[in-house]
Amino acid sequence: MADPATSEVLRFDDVSLHFDKTPALDHVSFAMNAGETRVVFGAAGSGKTMMLKTAVGLEKPDSGRVILFGEDVTNFKESALFGIRSKVGILFQEGGLFDSMTIADNVAYPLLNQQARRNGDGPLTEAEVDAKVLQTLNFVELGGTLQKYPSEVSGGMRRRVGIARAVVTEPPLVLYDSPTAGLDPITANLIIHLLIKERDSRNTAAVLVTHRYQDGHLMANFRYNPDSGRIEPARKLEGRVKTKFFVMNEGRLVFDGSETELRASQDSYVRKFVK
């Protein structure tokens, strides 16, 4: 039996997806294991978001295979995907928070939904759900916003609520779609610190789509120290090689490698993302 600490969580085998005749994904292949991080760069419309959506079956590929936690989900029906999606947390580019619900209800939603699907198998009590929601919102430093609605908080806070909702069920894989887009540098750094903290405190696999090189650099080179409760530079090389970088262009994966390789690349498109 595969060691869960190193087992494969996500694999794309020659995946292609087209809208009309425009390729959103063009023969994309990669694999990632538990605890690893992938940082995805690319221009707008290069297929980054589509890659995340295809990974969890929100978009169906035209060809190729998507393997999620060892299961070929390429042709899964929507109802069959609900179970496996509970192992994946997603932060959407637009937030995707339900604006008719309070922040507490938004964060509680995945917990209650999974519980309903388990048909009462080890159900959480209302107090346990409330405690978990509060704990997760404290994790993203938003413990005082429980009864507010998403429209009543700032853009940066909405992203943090989105992160809380993505990780509240403690999924082994989290997909972050542009979590720092449009945010000021201070808030953007705070968000990346939260992602590092989440990744390292639970050894979560993460895919981070971003336009900012700095986001990827922080993810690759910094670690969360649970003793000090701070983000610190990673000392071991082992920690750094767990983060790999992708660059996408017109649906194609044009770069796949470490940060050192990314910085050394002579490709003019790839170099645009290295600052």
Partner 1 sequence: MLDFIKPWIETFQEFLYLAARAFRNIFRTPHYADDIFIQMDVIGVGSLPIVILIGFFSGIIMGLQLGRALTTYGAQGQIGQLVAIALVREFGPVLTALLVAGRNASGIASELGSMKVTEQIDAMRALGTDPIQKLVTPRLIALMVVLPLLTIIADFIGLIGGSLIAIGLLNITWSMYWSSAWRALIYQDLGQGLIKPFLFAIVISLVGCLYGMRTTGGTQGVGRATTQAVVVASIWIFVITSFIDPLFFT
Residues that bind partner 1 (CB under 8 A): 53, 56, 58, 78-79, 82-83, 85-86, 88, 90, 92-99, 109-110, 113-114, 116-117, 165
Closer residue to partner 1 in complex, CB, 93/221: 93
Closer of 30 and 82 to partner 1 (Cβ): 82
Q: Quick one: which of 82, 55, 66, 65 has its CA closest to 205?
A: 55
Could you give the C-alpha distances from 78 to 52, 59, 73, 89, 235, in angstroms and in order? 16, 10, 10, 17, 43
Least distance from partner 1 to the Cβ atom of residue 225, Å: 31
* Residue 258 CB, nearest approach to partner 1 (Å): 30
Please choose, from the candidates 201, 154, 142, 162, the residue with its C-alpha nearest in 3D space to the C-alpha of residue 182. Answer: 154
Q: Can you say whether the dihedral through the CA atoms of 211, 74, 29, 45 is positive or negative?
A: negative
Write down the least CB distance from residue 221 to partner 1, Å: 30
Q: How far apart are the first and last CA of the chain?
A: 43
- In the complex, the smallest distance separating the C-beta of residue 198 from partner 1, rounded to whole angstroms, is 17
Minimum Å gap between C-beta 238 and partner 1 is 32
Cα–Cα distance, 240 to 70 (Å, whole number): 25
* Residue with Cβ nearer partner 1 (87 or 211): 87
Specify the residue for token string 């003019």: 268
Say which residues have a Cβ less than 8 Å from residue 217's Cβ, sequence separation at least 6. 259
The single-letter code of the amino acid at 87 is K
Contact, 180 vs 210, CB < 8 A?
yes
Nearer to partner 1, 69 or 109 (CB): 109
Is 56 or 248 the residue whose CB approaches partner 1 more closely?
56
Number of other CB atoms surrounding residue 239 within 10 Å: 15
Q: Which is nearer to partner 1, 52 or 192 (CB)?
A: 52
Beta-carbon neighbour count of residue 94 at 10 Å? 11
Residue with Cβ nearer partner 1 (54 or 249): 54
Closest approach, Cβ 56 to partner 1, in A, equals 6
Shortest Å distance, C-beta 255 to partner 1? 27
